[in-house]
Amino acid sequence: MSKVQCELCPRLCVIPEGAAGDCRVRVNIEGKLRATTYGRPSAVHIDPIEKKPFYHFRPTTSVFSIGTAGCNLHCLNCQNWQLSQRGGEEMEQIYSLPPAGLVQEALDRHCQGLAYTYNDPIVFYEYVRDSAELAKAKGLNNVFVTAGYINPKPLRELCRWLDATTLDIKAFDDGFYRRVCSGSLKPVLDAMVIFREEKVWLEVSNLMIPSLNDDMALVRRLARWMRDELGADTPLHFLRFVPMYRMRSLPPTPETSLVRAREEARDAGLHHVYIGNLFGHEAESTFCPRDGTLLVQRSGMRVIANHLTADGRCPSCQQPIAGVWH
């Protein structure tokens, strides 16, 4: 029986023949590791880029979004557990969309980019890599929505093809990762630094779960770490938790916690801190960090008005606003 070791993520699964890695979709078949969901997404949608969330990367564009079965984290609060916590052979719906077909679909539907999202695209790495290469050649953007639980080498290799990433940090607490996600914090922090070093536009999100990771001390530590390691202009999105999967007994995040977290992160020095999943809140919009001018007004993940200058500056004080605006 030939075993293989998957070196894609920090789990480093050693997989006997006929079994899958912890992610359920990288399978040892006859002594070779196979990516069984390659070109076989189970979720396909066209989304506004704001939904990922990206607030500083080509606003108002549409992205052709795909996700497959499987994930290398097992968060008890997962919002897409029907996809992420199942193997490919368990899925009701599987689409045939190899890289060339995927890129053509995106072009036919007038999308400006591809989004690898829904489950963690790390587990369909090869599909992302091949699609992203083709997409780039056709002038499409590649955006990656991830939890960042990946080893440095494969990540650096993939960054060559990526334009932007939203990284969801579960909590600035290793214990939380171990208890709730069956992962660990350090590889995620390393991934954020690598995205920054490789010049992939980075936005960070944090789903605030009442009583589990809504401690303001954690928020302050995250914000200070981001300020020091990623830069004060890195956008941070605090997302409202909605009871889901194995955490249905907890209430949704109260607005007051999200507002307080935003204040703490701004006090720590971050320039762009948003609140997500709380439609209509003013913290969905972008303001100038220097003079407070409303720059991009949003509601429900849609852009209502964009007052930025053509070269991405505040129209009042001419402060350049970090982002990829066109």
Partner 1 sequence: MKALLWRHLRPREFRFLGFVLANLIAIGLFLASGQEEMAPVGGWRRIDTEALARRLQSGELQMREALWSKPVEAGRERPR
Pair 163, 324: CB distance under 8 Å: yes
34 binds partner 1 (CB under 8 A): yes
**Site pattern 37..66 for partner 1 (x: CB under 8 A):** xxxx--------------------------
Tokens describing residue 237: 């999105």
Instruction: Name the one range near partner 1 by CB under 8 A: 2-10, 58-66, 245-253, 254-262.
Output: 2-10
For 23-54, b/e burial (b = at least 16 CB within 10 A) is bbbbbbeeeebebbbbbbbbbeeebbbbbbbb
On the 0-12 / 13-18 / 19+ scale of CB atoms within 10 A, 144 is buried
What's the rounded Cα separation, in Å, for the pair 272 and 293? 13
Give, as ranges, the residues between 164 and 223 that touch partner 1 (CB under 8 A).
177-179, 182-184
36 binds partner 1 (CB under 8 A): yes
Give least dist CB 214 to partner 1, A.
21
Cβ 262 to partner 1 shortest distance, Å: 31
Give the HSE-up count for residue 76: Cα atoms under 13 Å, Cβ half-sphere: 13
Window 96 to 125, contacts with partner 1 (CB under 8 A): 96, 125
Residue 160 within binding range of partner 1, rule CB under 8 A: no
Asked if residue 63 lies in contact with residue 47, where contact means CB atoms within 8 angstroms, the answer is yes
Total residues at interface with partner 1 (CB under 8 A): 54
Question: Does 24 interact with partner 1 (rule: CB under 8 A)?
Answer: yes
Residues that bind partner 1 (CB under 8 A): 1-8, 10-16, 18-22, 24, 26-29, 31-40, 87-90, 94, 96, 125-127, 129, 151, 153-154, 177-179, 182-184
